[in-house]
């Protein structure tokens, strides 16, 4: 079997997506998804270069092709290139599973669990609205909820955001008791002093984790935070390789690894990071804010990974691109269930592409009250 084509399909629905399809001379096609939302045109440019390395190659040699793409340009792949590699890598595993007639999780040693628990995104402009959205989620069967550090539109005052965030935790815990798991995504919006205040004040409400309480560039800041709070910490969604995870794993600076399969060079790299995390008792909470192909890839990884915590799932299967990405996995009572179809279990319906014309859409931005820029 040989690779004959590698195609990119940018589309737009509730957000922008970039799907990558790898074709072979035996008619088997594999599907993947590249992350780094908002940079689709840059990723398509990177794909044009990587394609030259892949045409004519054996798609079963996944590790070899991963090394070729990641290291073949001399400069280590990061962000833009690693996101394209991620989409290609998912597609190669999809091809291998289809060719052998087994789900991808069987290629990883088989299932270690029967279902994968997930969390939705809940929202509200105040405590009452957020609790109401949590009630909607709980009534649907979710066992987790996750909300963002509060902001005022495109403005954020760190002190007020911390106070409002603590109030949100208190309101949710008071309404639902101890059985509901609660996560908050700070989204790297806070400086260290404010992050410490937030984490210490919400400890009493038993968060499942606080996500990205600090920016990702300075690993040492997580060492400082770790020494000042006992709250579980989740981080890693901005990392693009195992080397960027090295310090937070080796120094036990996180409790949950937010691996983004669509940025961190795909399933091949994610499995290496997962095994490394297992030696430090760090569980996976994969970052999955994008499309149904990423959701499927994350599901296969989590089904075969012992040290799993929870999977992000902002849209249940069938709620996004159901006519474009067909045979999406089944969701029931807060869990994704194992697919039985070979490969990733999904297919790209080319006839539906015209219904989702691509339009560039930049991500949002936040500013403080004095007009200075901060992380969104």
Query: Which amino acids are annotated catalytic?
Result: 187, 287
How far apart are alpha carbons 220 and 145 in whole angstroms?
A: 29
How far apart are alpha carbons 7 and 321 in whole angstroms?
A: 19
Tokens describing residue 182: 């609660």
How far apart are alpha carbons 13 and 328 in whole angstroms?
A: 16
Surface-to-core class of residue 354, CB atoms within 10 Å of its CB (0-12 exposed, 13-18 middle, 19+ buried): exposed
Question: DSSP label at 172?
Answer: H
In this structure, the number of other CB atoms found within 10 A of the CB of residue 372 comes to: 7
Tokens describing residue 88: 């290609």
Which residue matches tokens 């002093």? 193
β-bridge partners, 3: 24
Nearest in space to 32 (alpha carbons), one of 20, 46, 24: 20
- DSSP H or E run through 295: helix 292-303
């Amino acid at each position: 079997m040989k690779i004959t084509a590698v195609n990119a399909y940018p589309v737009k629905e509730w957000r922008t997506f970039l799907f990558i399809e790898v074709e072979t001379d035996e008619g088997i096609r594999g599907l993947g998804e590249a992350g780094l939302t908002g940079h689709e045109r840059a990723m398509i440019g990177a794909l044009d270069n990587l394609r030259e390395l892949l045409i004519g190659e054996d798609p079963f040699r996944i590790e070899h092709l991963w090394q070729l793409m990641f290291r073949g340009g001399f400069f280590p792949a990061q962000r833009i290139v690693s996101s394209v590699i991620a989409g290609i890598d998912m597609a190669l595993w999809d091809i291998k599973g289809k060719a052998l007639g087994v789900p991808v999780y069987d290629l990883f040693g088989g299932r270690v669990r029967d279902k994968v628990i997930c969390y939705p995104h809940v929202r509200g402009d105040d405590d009452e609205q957020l609790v109401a959205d949590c009630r909607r989620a709980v009534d649907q069967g979710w066992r987790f909820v996750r909300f963002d550090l509060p902001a005022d539109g495109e403005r954020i005052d760190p002190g007020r955001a911390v106070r409002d965030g603590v109030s949100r935790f208190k309101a949710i815990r008071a309404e639902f008791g101890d059985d509901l798991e609660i996560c908050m995504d700070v989204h790297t919006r806070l400086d260290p002093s404010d992050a410490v205040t937030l984490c210490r004040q919400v400890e009493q409400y038993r968060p499942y984790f606080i996500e990205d309480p600090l920016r990702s560039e300075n690993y040492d800041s997580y060492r400082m935070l770790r020494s000042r709070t006992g709250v579980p910490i989740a981080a890693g969604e901005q990392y693009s390789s195992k080397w960027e995870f090295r310090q937070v794993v080796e120094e036990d600076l996180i409790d949950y690894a937010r691996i983004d399969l669509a940025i961190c060079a795909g399933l091949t790299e994610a499995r290496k990071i997962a095994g490394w995390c297992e030696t430090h008792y760090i569980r996976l909470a994969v970052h999955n804010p994008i499309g149904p192909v990423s959701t499927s890839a994350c599901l296969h990884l989590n089904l075969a990974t012992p040290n799993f915590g929870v999977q992000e799932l902002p849209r249940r299967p069938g709620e996004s691109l159901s006519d474009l990405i067909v045979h999406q996995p089944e969701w029931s009572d807060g869990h994704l269930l194992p697919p039985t179809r070979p490969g990733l279990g999904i297919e790209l319906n080319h006839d539906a592409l015209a219904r989702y014309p691509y339009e560039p859409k930049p991500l949002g931005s936040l500013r403080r009250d004095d007009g200075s820029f901060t992380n969104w």
